[in-house]
Amino acid sequence: MTDILKVLQVSKNFVKPIDIASKVVNMFGNFYNQEVVHAVDNVSFNVTSGEVVGVVGESGCGKSTLGRMIAGILPLTSGKLDFHDQHYSGFDEGNYKHNSHIDLKIQMIFQDPFSSLNPRQKIIDIISEAPIHHKLISKKDKKYFVKDILNKVGLGTDAMDRFPHQFSGGQRQRIGIARALAISPEFIVCDESIAALDVSIQAQVINLFLKLRQDLNLTYLFISHDIGVIQHIADRVVVMYLGQIVETASSDEIFSHPNHPYTKALLQGVPTLDTKKKIYTPIKGEIPSPINPPSGCYFHPRCKFSTNKCITDKPSYKEVSPNHFSACHLNS
Ligand code: SF4
């Protein structure tokens, strides 16, 4: 198996512009610094061809920003992204490069299919718009082309002449998937793609993703705040906290032998059948601000194992068992 995607020391900062009052104060000699949100902080990992890598963490941990950079929607602040060993986005020898040809091979499916579908366009036009624009198909072939793709996502030909509001949430997400497939991507970033659906529909859409992976040889980066969803779909799991990766391992390893206290806390929140636990329990404490992250280990204000060392020293990210990496002082 070869690596299809390499994420190499990628960071993304957002600079909050200073308001008028602060500008006026600056004019009189005082100085207000611009606030910088460190949304993604020096993240590296690889994705193997055909793999489903799940990225999990609470909202605000930087997983969606990471997904948007990989899909070519957001520029990087530093680091670089390689696709099939070809550099396509980020910095190389100090220069920013972006290869939009590779963007076509990487598509993104969003959480809310309704807001991402033009309500005035018929489904046939929504699905065929990008492949016609990129000259992958001709206008005269679009009917056959769209019919085939609708069939792949489990929708009938009659869907072609209807509008987005005429479909249920699950059907609209299938249309979103069909639109992404229309470009013949190799890699799909799914950003909370089933979060807005009923639980029964979620299972159907997960099964569709897995079938399409098999049929079309796709690779997925599957982003979710719900570690229970990740357990169902991912081969490997990347756990993020406050813009950084805190643990990575195969799905089997993460769910049988989680190492990082944050991963363990996420798992404790998942309702299970065997313990008859039906209610999601959030992790105690607030997520700190990414503008002013805590010293040492970013998780220390919420961690029940925190020591003085955790407050002062950043833990190194190291291999705790074969292909299982974690950043915690308890492994020292
Ligand atoms: Fe908890 Fe310390 Fe490990 Fe951070 S380094 S997760 S604070 S034990």
Per-run averaged pLDDT (10 residues), the chain, 332 residues: 93 82 65 82 96 94 95 93 91 79 88 81 95 93 96 95 93 94 95 87 93 96 93 96 97 97 88 54 79 94 95 97 98 92
Report the pLDDT value the prediction gives residue 9, as an integer from 0 to 100.
96
Distances in Å between the Cα of 82 and the Cα atoms of 10, 142, 201, 222, 323 are: 11, 32, 34, 18, 21
Query: Ligand 1 pocket check: which of 325, 330, 331, 332 to mutate, most ligand atoms within 8 Å of Cβ?
Result: 330
Map residue 117 onto helix, strand or coil.
coil
> In sequence order, what are the beta bridge partners of 48?
3
> The tokens 């065929």 sit on which residue?
128
Ligand 1 contact via 261 beta carbon (within 6 Å): yes
Q: Which one-letter amino acid corresponds to residue 232? A: H
What is the Cα–Cα distance from 247 to 239, expressed in whole angstroms? Answer: 5
CB 179, CB 160: distance < 8 Å: no
- Which atom of ligand 1 has the smallest separation from the CA of 304? 1
241 touches ligand 1 (CB under 6 Å): no
**What pLDDT shows up at residue 250?**
97
* Ligand 1 center to 288 CA (angstroms): 15
The DSSP secondary-structure symbol of 269 reads T
**pLDDT score at 194:** 87
Residue whose C-alpha is closest to residue 145's, from 126, 173, 121: 126
pLDDT, position 197 = 86
Q: Which atom of ligand 1 is nearest to the CA of 262?
A: 6
What's the confidence (pLDDT) of residue 332?
87
pLDDT for 41: 95
Ligand 1 pocket: which of 303, 308, 320 to mutate (most atoms within 8 A of CB): 303
pLDDT at 98: 82
CA 213, CA 87: separation in Å to the nearest integer? Answer: 24
CA 260 to chain centre: 20
* C-beta of 144 in contact with ligand 1 (< 6 A): no
Q: Answer whether 306 contacts ligand 1 (Cβ < 6 A).
A: yes
To test the pocket of ligand 1, the residue of 307, 316, 318 to mutate (highest count of ligand atoms within 8 Å of its CB) is 307
Q: What is the DSSP string of 121-189?
A: S-HHHHHHHHHHHTTSS-GGGHHHHHHHHHHHTT--GGGGGS-GGGS-HHHHHHHHHHHHHTT--SEEE
What pLDDT is stored for residue 213 in this prediction?
A: 96
Protein residue whose Cα sits closest to atom 7 of ligand 1: 300
Whether 310 lines ligand 1, by a CB cut-off of 6 Å, is yes
The reported pLDDT for the residue numbered 29 is: 65
Q: For ligand 1, atom 3, which residue shows the shortest CA distance? A: 328
Residue 53 Cα to ligand 1 middle (Å): 24
